[in-house]
Amino acid sequence: MQFRNSTTLDTDRLYEQLLRHTHPYRHDQLRVSVRYSRGADFSGSCYYADSRIFVNIGRHVTYPYKMATHVAKATSNSTHWWREHLTVTLADATQLVLFIYLHELFHYLVKRAGRNPRRKEAMCDRFAARILVDQYRCPIRRRSGAAAPREMWDFKDLDAFVGAAPKQSRPTPRPIPVRVHS
């Protein structure tokens, strides 16, 4: 992976974090840029033709940051459909970068797996949310502020969905756990 960071966030830490969560998928052609946005809280984009992912975060964003997501299961009636409003609370800018990166990475993996990449926003959000909940203990909450039960938003095998995406041919060294004392 070619990685470029033009923010004040620690480049080595970000790079290692993104690599850890990209495993086991092949990423030798992937080019990732992290930069500041021009005004939005955040944005991201994935360009399939040249394997590029852009992650943009706002300088003005304060943390913890409550990000609205599309992770909830869709509900419908005879005339329309909707999703319950769920938020994930991100502790710092590195978690925001990670969420956006994972969201865009899933778009990339869907395309690399030979599937249609259109209309996959909810799946991309669930892919990112699952890692942030499991690895970083970021809470997902309902509009009322109550914790959203996992079965409400984690209901599809996303790894199987992108199972045909190319995997790494040689193993990546496993990250060494680091204990942070405060």
Residues 152-169, mean pLDDT to the nearest whole number:
83
Q: What is the pLDDT of residue 169?
A: 67
In contact, 57 and 39? CB cutoff 8 Å: no
In which band, very low, low, confident or very high, does the pLDDT at 171 lie, cut at 50, 70 and 90?
low
pLDDT at 153 over 90: yes
pLDDT at 155: 86
Using the predicted structure, report yes or no on whether residue 181 has a pLDDT greater than 90.
Answer: no
pLDDT digits (tens, 9 = 90+) for 83-134: 889 999 999 999 999 999 999 999 999 998 888 878 889 999 999 999 999 9
Residue 48: alpha-carbon gap to chain centroid: 17
Does residue 17 come out as left (phi exceeding 0), alpha (psi in the -120 to 50 range) or beta? alpha
What pLDDT does 174 receive? 65
The yes-or-no verdict on residue 172 having pLDDT over 60 is no
Mean pLDDT, rounded, of the chain: 91
Task: Give exposure, 72-99, as e/b (b: 16+ Cβ within 10 Å).
Answer: beeeeeeeeeeeeebbbbbeebbbbbbb
pLDDT band at residue 173, thresholds of 50, 70 and 90? Answer: low
Instruction: Give the bridge partners for 142, in sequence order.
Output: 86
Q: Examine the pLDDT at 51 and tell me if it is beyond 60.
A: yes
Give the span between the Cα atoms of 156 and 4, in whole angstroms: 32
Residue 158 pLDDT: 86
Domain range list for the chain: 2-161
Question: Which pLDDT score is estimated for 119?
Answer: 84
- Identify the pLDDT of residue 73: 87
Q: Which residues pair with 5 in a beta bridge?
A: 34
Which amino acid is present at 127? F
> Which residues lie across from 65 on neighbouring strands?
90
pLDDT of residue 97: 98
